[in-house]
Amino acid sequence: MKLPAQPSVPSIHDTHCDGPGLEHSTIPWPRYRSFYYRWLAEDGTKDVPLPPRVDLRGKTVLISGANSGIGKEAAYICALWGAHVIIACRDPPPHEDHPEQVIDEFVARSHGIITNQLVEWWKVDFADLASVKALGDRFISSGRTLDLLFNNAGLNMKKFVQTMDGFELVNQVNYLAHVLLTYTLLPAMKNAKAPRIINTSSSFHYGGTLDFANFNAEKEVKLKKGDEQAVVAEMGEWYCDSKLKLAMWNKELQSRMSRSAEYRHVITHAIHPGYVASNVWRSGWLKQVPGPIQFLLNIGLKYLAIDSKQGSLAMLYAALLPERGIESLTAPAAAPPKEDVPERFTEQVGGRFYLRTQEHPTRPEIEDRTARARLWNRTNEDIKAAKYGLDFILPGPLPGLK
C-alpha cells in the first residue's frame, strides 16, 4: 500500500511560513510537556556556591540590563574579580536602580576594591534598534577587546506594545536587540583569548510557540484605530516565545561560529537563572494580570523564589567554568591560534542550555537545523542585517539544507 506523501518542509528562505516548518525527523513537542517544563523544570537547590574565583584583571565585560536583578549581581562579581565592566541599560524607570547609584553601591559593597573607573554605564534602549547598533558601534570604535558578553536585558508584557521599529516590544527587547548587539560586537571578540557569549533564556522557552507567520504577533494583533493596547496575550505568551527564539538562535550561532576561521574560538551558551524574585516579575506586567494571580505570584516570589545573587550564578558558571569553554579565561599557557582550534569542535562544547548550574535538555526545535536556519534568516531580515553589513560576518547554513 502506498503511504500518503508527507507535506514538504518549507525552505529556510520561506521566513513567513505557517508554523515552525520542522524537518520530518523532528518529533513535535507535546503540550503537556510544555506545561511541565514551563513551571516545574527548576533546580530546587537554593544555596549554590560561587564558581571558583577567576582573575579577570585586564578583561572587558559587557552586561545588558545590569542595573538590577541577576545582571547587577553578575556585574558586581565580575568587577570584584578585576574585570572592566560596562553596564548597558536604559535610563531606568523608578522601580529599578539607576546605574550611577549601582556603581556607587559596588564601590561601597567592595570596600573600595571596585573603583568608579572599573565600572561604566553606557546608555542604550533595547526598544530602539538604532540605539542598540549605536552602542555596539561605540564599543568597536573604542578599539577594546570584548571578553564576555552577557545578553541579559529583558521584560514581560501582557498587552501589545509596538516599538518605533514596528515590532512587538517583548520580541524586540528579549530577542531581536540581543542579536543585533551580538552581531555588531563580534569583531571585538576576534582577538579575545577565550571569549564567551551568555544569553539569558528561560525554562519558559519550553512553553513557547514557534510560528513564522506569527513571529511578531501578526496573527494576534488586530488593533483598533489608534489603540496599540488592544491585544492582550495569555500570561507570559510572548515572553515564552522570545526565550524559545533566543535558545534556538544560541544553538545556531554556535554552529556558525564553529565553522568560522575568525570566531571558532568563541563559545556561546543559553541559561535559565531559576525562579528569581527579580524586577522582570515586578514590572508593569504583574500589574496587568488579575488580582488573584498577582496574589499567588507574590506569595511564590516571597517563599519559593531565589534571590538575584543566586540567580546570577547561572550566568557566572556558564561564563567562567573552564570546562564550559575551550579553555580558561586565564589559563597560563598562551591561547592556541584560532586556526588550531579544530573545525566544528566548539559546536560540541558550546551552544548548550544550562538550567541554573546544570545542563538541561531543550525543545526539539532547538536541534532542528532547518528551523534554526530559517529563524536566522528571518531575524536577519527584521534587524536589517544586510543594511549594516552584518549578514556575512559568519558562514551560511549547513550544506544540504533546503
Joined grid coordinates for residue 13: 528562505
Domain spans, the chain: 31-382
Amino acid at 14: D
Q: What is the pLDDT of residue 158?
A: 76
Give the predicted TM-score (pTM) of the model.
0.89
Q: What is the pLDDT of residue 333?
A: 42
Q: What is the pLDDT of residue 104?
A: 96
Q: What is the pLDDT of residue 40?
A: 53
Q: Are strands 60-64 and 148-151 parallel, antiparallel or unpaired?
A: parallel
Q: What is the pLDDT of residue 334?
A: 44
Amino acid at 305: A
Q: Are 198 and 212 in contact (CB under 8 A)?
A: no
Class level of CATH domain 31-382: alpha beta
Q: What is the pLDDT of residue 399?
A: 81
Residues paired with 62 in a beta bridge: 86, 149
Task: Give per-10-residue mean pLDDT for the chain (402 aa).
Answer: 68 95 88 59 70 96 94 97 97 85 96 95 97 98 98 88 94 98 97 95 89 91 55 74 96 95 94 74 56 59 71 94 77 50 73 91 91 97 96 88 76
Q: Are 180 and 383 in contact (CB under 8 A)?
A: yes
Q: What is the pLDDT of residue 7?
A: 74
Catalytic site residues?
Answer: 239
